[in-house]
Amino acid sequence: MAVYRKDRPLIVQHDFCILAEARHPEMEKLRASLARFSELVKSPDNIHTYRMSSLSLWNAAASGMTSEEVVEFLDHHSKFGVPAVVRQDIVRFIERYGLVRLERMGEDLLLISDDLDVIKEMVSFKSLRSYGLVQTDARTLRFSSQYRGLLKQELIKLGFPVEDLAGYSTGEALPIRLRAGAERDSSFELRDYQRCAVDSFYREGSLQGGSGVLVLPCGAGKTVIGIAAMGKLSCATLILTTNSTSVKQWKREILSKTDLSEDMVGEYTGEVKEVRPVTIATYQILTYRKSKNGPFLHIDLFKKRDWGLIVYDEVHLLPAPVFRITADIQATRRLGLTATLIREDGREEDVFSLVGPKRYEMPWKTLENQGWIASVECVELQIPLPPDRMEAYRMAGERERMRIASGNPAKLTAAEALLRRHQGEQILLIGHYLDQLKELAMRTGAPMISGEMAHESREALYQAFRSGELSVLIVSKVANFAVDLPDAAVAIQLSGSFGSRQEEAQRLGRILRPKQGDNKAFFYSLVSLDTKEQEFAMNRQLFLIEQGYSYRTIDVQADSEYMGVQEKAKTLREAVRP
């Protein structure tokens, strides 16, 4: 019988779940370790639930964690120890990574395993026969290199995460030198964790390096890490990112931090199509087609130069068509950058097999403790719907309910109260619905940015905000990704995309850059009480809590003192009163 140790914070269950006492004094420092091999799936006030999976354990193995480390950690912090069956499964899953290796032999590739039963099992799978596997001996299967990506995709579905040691083509040579002056500039000199991230990807140029995903918070300098990886490899590079604003941001950073001239760095977007030794493109242009069943008109960008490196910025947003072409270019080095491995479409296994496994992860709270990103107070304000809106909500269909809840007019009053509470600070008001944002802009006089606005006008407002000329800016979801707003200290989100953790990561990232003084920022979510929106908000909370942030929930009617402005709090109560 297991010994009961009541002072320990974890309970490891037979179903691969881990229950954690949220208020235990050790939990803040344990979260980072739990996140290395499990995922937070529930977060009520007192007990948080983490779940291990084959993929979470394979990613842990790929980033250097051993089964002994996982079991020892759980044993040490668990009230009852680790059940024998769970212990065995942890060892079995982690040791599966690397059990099958992919190596090169001339023009063909080899699948090799020292476990003869594994080779027998793979030969028996009908789904693998179309790849022309030929058994050359008891531990080796041979196949054509054209199936490198597709076979890795299929094998991970069958429970065999392949360690790809087949190497890469060098691509077109392009000497890239980091500017010596910039290296002495403290704003650019690589931080220790950035060097570790680059080294984890590069791995001294060995066959084990050259593909994989680096997981770091927004504001941690993922663009700088990408540029440093380019400098290591010195080859023609294709960078894929989320929008034209991000394209321009990457170009600015590359030109300021390397010796590359402007004519060496091209933009490939809906507005301009330049193919240069370093080319930065959007996912949207690569997946553009004139009709639903028409061809992708720009997907051949992957073949327009002999790329030696492809960088997937915000890799968790990689569209399905880009996955398909990525399966065909496995001989090209691939670097994924992201703040979260979680995908809303559940295709995390495809990221693992086609872009590469997790090579490095830096916990958000660790960077906060080191002063590299701001300390954030996360608060959810629960706001009742006015009676007429609640009646309409109850009678509406599922999608319309979300729009009614998100468009709660009482949120605008709450937002105005928060603007007064944080008067004088740099504030972003973020939302999903344009009519809501337009009304807020009219009520507050703050400028609003949406996808309808010309790029030049957006950039002018971003610059005014960065310089401090503007202190309040209203932004639609167009500003979710890769927008450099370094001075934002407060984010207020009025509505979001159905509980998206990805979106939560990006929005939080808007305020994470270090602040002068106490280095503190505030992240508010305005949520309609007793609606579907509240359920979705719980999913977004998972991301924040998993990263180690405390998350307060406040009923503004019951605790209107929190708003800090009595007159506005009274107005808010009246807005929702029958």
Q: Which two tokens stand for residue 569?
A: 């709090």
Q: Is residue 442 part of a domain?
A: yes
Residues 280, 390 within the same domain: no
Q: Is residue 277 part of a domain?
A: yes
Q: Is residue 482 part of a domain?
A: yes
Q: Which two tokens stand for residue 422?
A: 């944080």
Can you tell me whether residue 381 is helix, strand or coil? strand
Residues 476, 553 within the same domain: yes
> How are beta strands 108-112 and 101-105 bridged, if at all?
antiparallel
**Quick one: which of 470, 450, 453 has its CA closest to 462?**
470
Report pLDDT for 574: 47
Q: What is the 3-state secondary structure (H, E, C) of 31-83?
A: HHHHHHHCEEEECCCCEEEEECCHHHHHHHHHCCCCHHHHHHHHHHHECCCCC
Residue linked to tokens 């997981």: 215
Residue 526: CA count within 13 A, CB half-sphere? 29
Amino acid at 36: R
Residues 511, 550 within the same domain: yes
Residues 151, 68 within the same domain: no
Report pLDDT for 40: 84
Rg of the chain (C-alpha set): 25
Where among 65, 96, 127 does a domain terminate? 96
Residues 138, 278 within the same domain: no
Residues 318, 223 within the same domain: yes
Report pLDDT for 560: 53
- Say how far apart CA 307 and CA 495 lie, in whole Å: 40
Residues contacting residue 269 through CB under 8 Å, at least 6 positions apart: 244, 247, 281, 282, 285
- Say how far apart CA 520 and CA 512 lie, in whole Å: 9
- Whether 158 and 125 have beta carbons less than 8 Å apart is answered as yes
Can you tell me whether residue 541 is helix, strand or coil? helix
Q: What is the 3-state secondary structure (H, E, C) of 410-434?
A: HHHHHHHHHHHHCCCCCEEEECCCH
Asked whether the CA dihedral 486, 489, 493, 498 is positive or negative, the reply is positive
Residues 252, 374 within the same domain: no
**Quick one: which of 293, 296, 266 has its CA closest to 283?**
296
Q: Is residue 487 part of a domain?
A: yes
Where among 333, 362, 391 does a domain terminate? 362
**Quick one: which of 247, 238, 242, 232 has its CA closest to 190?**
232
Q: Which two tokens stand for residue 541?
A: 């909370």
Report pLDDT for 578: 37
**Count of domains forming the chain:** 4
Residues 92, 123 within the same domain: no
- DSSP type of residue 323: H
Residues 379, 321 within the same domain: no
Q: 565: left (phi > 0), else alpha (psi -120 to 50), else beta?
A: beta
Q: What is the pTM of this model?
A: 0.83
Q: What is the pLDDT of residues 525-553, one digit of tens each?
A: 999 999 988 888 877 777 777 777 777 88
Residues 343, 383 within the same domain: no
Q: Is residue 121 part of a domain?
A: yes
What helix, strand, coil percent values describe the chain, rounded to 5?
A: 45, 20, 35
- DSSP type of residue 372: S
Q: At what angle do helices 434-444 and 410-421 cross, to 10 degrees?
A: 50
Q: Is residue 464 part of a domain?
A: yes
- Say how far apart CA 523 and CA 489 lie, in whole Å: 9
Phi, psi of 114 (to 5 degrees): -80, -10
Report pLDDT for 188: 64
- Whether 553 and 380 have beta carbons less than 8 Å apart is answered as yes
Q: Is residue 169 part of a domain?
A: no
Residues 317, 409 within the same domain: no
Q: Is residue 414 part of a domain?
A: yes
CATH number at residue 529: 3.40.50.300
Containing structural domain, residue 480: 369-576
Residue linked to tokens 């321009």: 248
Phi, psi of 329 (to 5 degrees): -120, 40
- Say how far apart CA 131 and CA 48 lie, in whole Å: 44
Residues 415, 559 within the same domain: yes
Report pLDDT for 559: 58
Q: What are the residue ranges in the chain where pLDDT is below 70? A: 1-2, 44-45, 180-188, 478-487, 497-503, 558-578
- Whether 543 and 501 have beta carbons less than 8 Å apart is answered as yes
Residues contacting residue 168 through CB under 8 Å, at least 6 positions apart: 210, 211, 308, 331, 332, 333
- Say how far apart CA 246 and CA 267 lie, in whole Å: 11
Residues contacting residue 186 through CB under 8 Å, at least 6 positions apart: none
Report pLDDT for 1: 54
Where among 362, 396, 419 does a domain terminate? 362
Give whole-number Cα distances, 179 to 86, 185, 194, 228, in Å: 51, 10, 17, 11
**Quick one: which of 60, 142, 44, 155 has its CA closest to 99?**
155
